[in-house]
Structure 1
Amino acid sequence: MKTRAITGFFFIIVMLASVLINGYVFGVFYLLLSGLALLEFYRLVKKAGINPDVMTGVLNGAFIYVVFALISVDGDYHKLIFLLPITLSFISIQELFKKNNAPFTNIAYTYMGIIFTIIPFTFFYALAYLNGPAANLHYPMAFLLMLWANDTGAYLVGSKLGRTKLFERHSPKKTWEGLIGGIIITALAAYIISIYFTELSVTQWIWIGVLISCFGTVGDLIESMFKRSIDVKDSGGILPGHGGLLDRFDGLLLAAPVVYAYLYFITNA
C-alpha cells in the first residue's frame, strides 16, 4: 500500500506538470507515453504467441501522433495525412518476407495496437488545440482531474456500498453502485472546475464529466477483457503498485476521443 501511495503521488505530480509547463512539453510527454503504451501492448500480445511488427508499428504510431499533432496546431499540415497510407502499408508488406503461419493475425494486432493506444492519446493531445493554434491546457487538465475523480469515486463508493456487479465476466470488482458513485463525484469535480475554467458553462463541464465516467468505465472494461483474453493480471510493472501504463490509462482510451468529439461540436456550433 505504501509503494502504491508513493507511486500514485509522483504519478499525479508528473501528469499535472506535463499540462502545466507549456504546449511543447505536453506534446512530447504524451508522444513518449503513447509510444511506451504501444510497446506495452505489443509485449502483452507476444505472451499470447502473436508476433506483431513492433518496430514498424511503433514508427507508424509515432508518425500518426506527430502528423495529427501538427495538424491540431496548424491546419496547413493536413497534406501529411496522405503519407499515412504509404507508411501504414509497410506493416502488411513486411509480412511477405516472414515465414509464419498467421501473417494476418500479426498484421491485425500491429494495427490494433496503434488504434488502441496511439489514437486515444492523439485525441487527448488535440484537446489543447480545439480553439486554435495557441495551446489551451485547461481542457486536458480538466479531463485528467475528472478521470481521477471518477476512479476515486467509483473505488470509494464501490468498496463501501457495492453490491450489484456491473460486468462480472470481465471485471468482478466493478459494481453499479461504484459506477453511479463515480459519476456523482466526477460531476462534483466538474462543477468545481467550472468555477476556475470558464471556457464552458457548468452544464457543459458536467456533461463532459458524465461522458468521462461512462466511457472511461467502458474503456476500463475493454482493457480488462483484453488482459483476460491473453491471461495476464497487470499490463506491466512500470508503475510499482499500479501495474502498467494501459492499467493507468484504460479510462482514457475511449473517453478522450468521445470528449474531443463533444467539445469539437459544442465549441464550433
Structure 2
Amino acid sequence: MKTRAITGFFFVVVMLASVLCGRYVFSAFYLLVSILCLHEFYKLIGQSGVRPNMQAGMLNGVLVFVFVALQYYTSEARFLLVLLTFSMALIFIQELYKPSPAPFTNIAFTFLGIIFTVVPFSFFHALAFVNGSFNFHFPLAFLLMLWTNDTGAYLSGRFLGKHKLFERHSPKKTWEGFIGGVLLTVGTATILSHYFTDVHWLQWASMALYISLVGTFGDLVESMLKRSINIKDSGSILPGHGGLLDRFDGLLLAAPLVFAFLYLFFI
C-alpha cells in the first residue's frame, strides 16, 4: 500500500507538470507516453503467441503522433506523409522476412497497437490545441475528471457495491461504483467550470458524463485484453499500479470522443 501511494503521488505530480509546463513539454511528454504504451501493448500481445512487427510499428507510432502534433506548430508538416507511406509499407515488408504461420495476424496487431494507443494520445494532445493555440485547461480538466471518476467508482463500489456491472470482464466493477463515479465526476466538472470558463458549465458536465461512460468502457476493454492472455497487470513500470495501459485505459476511448464533442459542437 505504501509503495502504491508513493507511486501514485509522483505519477500525479508528473502528469500535472506535463500539462502545466508549456506546449513543448506537453507534446514531448505525451509522445513518449504513447510510444511506451505501444511498446507495452506489443509485449502483451506477444504473450498470446502473436508476433507484431515491433520496430516498424513503433516507428510508425512516432511518425503518426508527430504528424498530428505538428499540425499545431507549423503548416509544413505534410512532408511526413511521404515518410508514413514508406514506413507503413515496412510493416508488410518486414513480415516477408519472418518465418511465421500467421503473417497477416502479426500485421493486423501491429496496426491495432497504433490505433489502440497512439491515436487516442494524439486526440488527447489535440485537446490542448482545440482553440487553435495551446491551452492547458481542457487536457488538465480531462485528467482531473478521469481520476475523479476512477476514485469515485472505487470508493462507491467498495462501500456500496452489490450489483455487478460487467462481471465477465471485470468482476469487481459494480453499478453502484459506476454511478458514484459519474456523480463525483459531474461535481468536479461543476467546480472546474467556475475556474475554467472556456465553455459553459453544462458543456463541462457533458464532458464529465462522456468521460465517465466511455472511460468505463475503456477500462473494460483493457480488462478484456488482459483476460484474453490471462494476466493481471499490463506491465510493471509503475510499482504498485501495474503498467501504463492500466493507468490510461480510460483515456484510450474517451479522449477521441471528448475532442470530437468539443470540436464539433462547442468550439
Relative to the length of structure 1, the TM-score reads: 0.96
Moved more, 70-79 or 232-241: 70-79
Equivalent residues in 2 for 1:240-255, closer than 5 Å: 240-255=239-254
Supply the distance in 1 between the matched residues of 2:70 and 2:156 (Cα, whole angstroms): 41
Amino acid aligned to 1:80: L
Structure 1: give runs of 5+ residues left out of the alignment.
none
Supply the distance in 2 between the matched residues of 1:205 and 1:35 (Cα, whole angstroms): 29
Contact 1:91 1:107 survives alignment (8 Å): yes
The answer to whether structure 1 residue 236 and structure 2 residue 226 are counterparts is: no
The offset of 1:79, in angstroms, is 5.7
Amino acid aligned to 1:62: V
Supply the distance in 2 between the matched residues of 1:197 and 1:81 (Cα, whole angstroms): 36
Supply the distance in 2 between the matched residues of 1:100 and 1:204 (Cα, whole angstroms): 50
The answer to whether structure 1 residue 13 and structure 2 residue 29 are counterparts is: no
Supply the distance in 2 between the matched residues of 1:254 and 1:114 (Cα, whole angstroms): 13
Amino acid aligned to 2:198: E
Supply the distance in 1 between the matched residues of 2:9 and 2:192 (Cα, whole angstroms): 21
Contact 1:73 1:129 survives alignment (8 Å): no
Supply the distance in 2 between the matched residues of 1:76 and 1:57 (Cα, whole angstroms): 24
Supply the distance in 2 between the matched residues of 1:171 and 1:197 (Cα, whole angstroms): 35
Amino acid aligned to 2:150: D
The answer to whether structure 1 residue 154 and structure 2 residue 146 are counterparts is: no
Distance 1:73 1:44, change over 3 A: same
Contact 2:52 2:107 survives alignment (8 Å): yes
Cα deviation, 1:29-84, whole Å, max 9, x if unaligned, reads 01111111111111111111111111110010000000000113345534634543
Contact 2:156 2:176 survives alignment (8 Å): yes
- Residue 70 of structure 2 is matched in structure 1 by 70
Cα deviation, 1:145-190, whole Å, max 9, x if unaligned, reads 0000000000010111111111100000001111111000000000
- Residue 40 of structure 1 is matched in structure 2 by 40
Distance 1:263 1:81, change over 3 A: farther
- Residue 110 of structure 1 is matched in structure 2 by 110
Provide the secondary structure at the position in 1 that maps to 2:198: coil
- Residue 137 of structure 2 is matched in structure 1 by 138
Provide the secondary structure at the position in 1 that maps to 2:239: coil
- Residue 177 of structure 1 is matched in structure 2 by 176
Supply the distance in 2 between the matched residues of 1:250 and 1:60 (Cα, whole angstroms): 21
Supply the distance in 1 between the matched residues of 2:15 and 2:83 (Cα, whole angstroms): 32
The offset of 1:22, in angstroms, is 0.5
Amino acid aligned to 1:64: V
Cα deviation, 1:98-118, whole Å, max 9, x if unaligned, reads 211010111011111111110
Provide the secondary structure at the position in 1 that maps to 2:29: helix
Supply the distance in 2 between the matched residues of 1:184 and 1:169 (Cα, whole angstroms): 25
Contact 1:170 1:221 survives alignment (8 Å): yes
The offset of 1:200, in angstroms, is 0.6
Equivalent residues in 2 for 1:89-104, closer than 5 Å: 89-104=89-104
Structure 2: give runs of 5+ residues left out of the alignment.
none
Amino acid aligned to 1:13: V
Amino acid aligned to 1:255: A
Supply the distance in 2 between the matched residues of 1:124 and 1:74 (Cα, whole angstroms): 19
Provide the secondary structure at the position in 2 that maps to 1:173: strand
Supply the distance in 2 between the matched residues of 1:156 and 1:190 (Cα, whole angstroms): 19
Cα deviation, 1:177-213, whole Å, max 9, x if unaligned, reads 1111100000000001101100010000000000000
